[in-house]
Amino acid sequence: MPAEKEVLDALRHIIDPDLGRDIVSLGFVKNVRIQDGDVALTLELTTPACPVKERFREEARSAVSRLPGVKSVDVTLTAMASRRPQKPSVNLLDNVDTIIAVSSCKGGVGKSTIAGHLARAIQREGYAVGVLDTDIYGPSFPTLFNVHNPDVVMTNESILPVEVDGLKTMSLGFLMGDRPAVLRGPIVSNYTIQMLRQTDWGKLDYLIIDLPPGTGDIQLTLVQQASLDGAIIVTTPQALSLVDVARGILMFEKVEVPVLGIVENMAYFTCDDCGKRHFPFGNSTATLKTRFGLNTLAQLPILPGVSSVAHRQDGADVPAFAQLAENLHREVGKRRAAAGGRPEATVEPGHIRVRWPDGVESRIPNVTLRASCQCALCVNEYTGGAILDPKTIPGDLEAENVEPLGNYAVSISWSDGHSSGIFSWDHLRAVAGRGAT
């Protein structure tokens, strides 16, 4: 009969592909029980929607079964509880495991459509999902879900969500119909917070919140009230849209909401004749990663007929939606596991010092780093050519403030008044490799 140490040692070769460490050192293995050759254990994963959970289960069974004296192996899967801060005022969200905001920071990029298809993709995986439309001025859910003037029921001062083919939904558009919302800012905030607080979602694995476009007070109020697990930003490859991505990242960081990644919508189309992909606005996935340090969760094509999510199978024939859901699960899991250390950037005279998780340190001259800025004031968004003339950078330039942006970047304010640059850790590493000390 094996000892517990032998069981754990047998499991150490199972590596989490996202975290890069074995499941024992990550603390996933719990409650190992051994009796008369029967072994039982629990794997506590980062999220119930872990894309590799069944692979972990089978690999654990196989590894432990090979130990001498083992007659049977029972592996139970559980998941970590959400680590988002809980706010007593939003107690109707206590039974929601994961809350994700979908933001665009700019209208017209397909944010609501993406939110609806993301919810459907997660639902098709077998999870309980709700989706909330918080756009007061232009609610799109009545059209997206083909639900007009439904009977919205209130019970015990709570609003019951409208269920559409198994998906729980709520929108002010369900209450107002086609009437325009002629409301001032404070009243709009009150309506959105009321929908958020008073909708009784019940037990959900995911709640997707479709934010209004922009980065104003309404958006800030919502993300503060909802205790989000993270946010994704929807954009298009157009230069004007990419400028707004930076604003969205900074907005979420101000309220300590991690940005999990970017969705690039309407990125390409596939030619009917040759089958080749064409990128009418340019293929900017690498640019997004370099500039913002965020992964692209999905690159979605220009497709006809994706403006309806009224049925569970809507969008099932588009692989990019399933890929978006899987990548979202992975990013949520990495966030919950707090995998790896984050680099640390500090200010010293004439330099930015970066200490990397592996212990290596880099000293990057301020002038060199300032000259490498990729923001819209320093680089032409359309041509990629430099706007900033390095000769205009003061030789005595100093960094006045370095602010971490999640696990992916820093924002630096310089003594010459420039403060719009976002420097990803990958960018800093590259600049450090080009001659920093």
- What pLDDT sits at residue 253? 75
Examine residue 437 and state whether it is found in any structural domain, yes or no: no
CATH of the domain at 256: 3.40.50.300
- What pLDDT sits at residue 363? 92
- What pLDDT sits at residue 98? 92
Examine residue 166 and state whether it is found in any structural domain, yes or no: yes
Distance in angstroms (rounded) separating the CA atoms of residues 205 and 199 = 16
- What pLDDT sits at residue 337? 78
Residues 395 and 332 in one domain: no
Residues 427 and 302 in one domain: no
Sign of CA dihedral 314, 320, 326, 327: negative
Per-residue pLDDT of 308-355, as tens digits, reads 899 999 999 999 999 999 999 999 988 887 655 678 899 999 999 999
- Domain boundary among the residues 285, 313, 337 is at 337
Q: 69 lies in which domain range?
A: 4-79
Residues 164 and 275 in one domain: yes
CATH of the domain at 74: 3.30.300.130
CATH of the domain at 392: 3.30.2020.30
- What pLDDT sits at residue 85? 54
Examine residue 393 and state whether it is found in any structural domain, yes or no: yes
Sign of CA dihedral 307, 313, 317, 323: positive
- Domain boundary among the residues 60, 79, 98 is at 79
Residues 297 and 155 in one domain: yes
- Domain boundary among the residues 25, 54, 79 is at 79
Q: Indicate the number of domains in the chain.
A: 3
Identify any residues that bridge with 399 across adjacent strands, giving them in sequence order.
414
Residues 13 and 117 in one domain: no
Residues 44 and 143 in one domain: no
Residues 155 and 243 in one domain: yes
For residue 277, report the phi and psi dihedrals to the nearest 5 degrees: -80, 135
Contact 296, 285 (CB under 8 A): yes
Examine residue 415 and state whether it is found in any structural domain, yes or no: yes
pLDDT below 50 — which residues of the chain?
A: 88-90, 180-186, 437
Residues 117 and 213 in one domain: yes
Contact 29, 8 (CB under 8 A): yes
pTM: 0.78
Residues 22 and 70 in one domain: yes
- What pLDDT sits at residue 81? 74
- Sort 364 into a burial class: Cβ within 10 Å, 0-12 / 13-18 / 19+: buried
Examine residue 113 and state whether it is found in any structural domain, yes or no: yes
Examine residue 407 and state whether it is found in any structural domain, yes or no: yes
Residues 311 and 223 in one domain: yes
- What pLDDT sits at residue 137? 67
Residues 361 and 403 in one domain: yes
Residues 226 and 158 in one domain: yes
- What pLDDT sits at residue 159? 85
Examine residue 155 and state whether it is found in any structural domain, yes or no: yes
Examine residue 103 and state whether it is found in any structural domain, yes or no: yes
Per-residue pLDDT of 58-91, as tens digits, reads 999 999 999 999 999 999 999 887 765 555 444 5
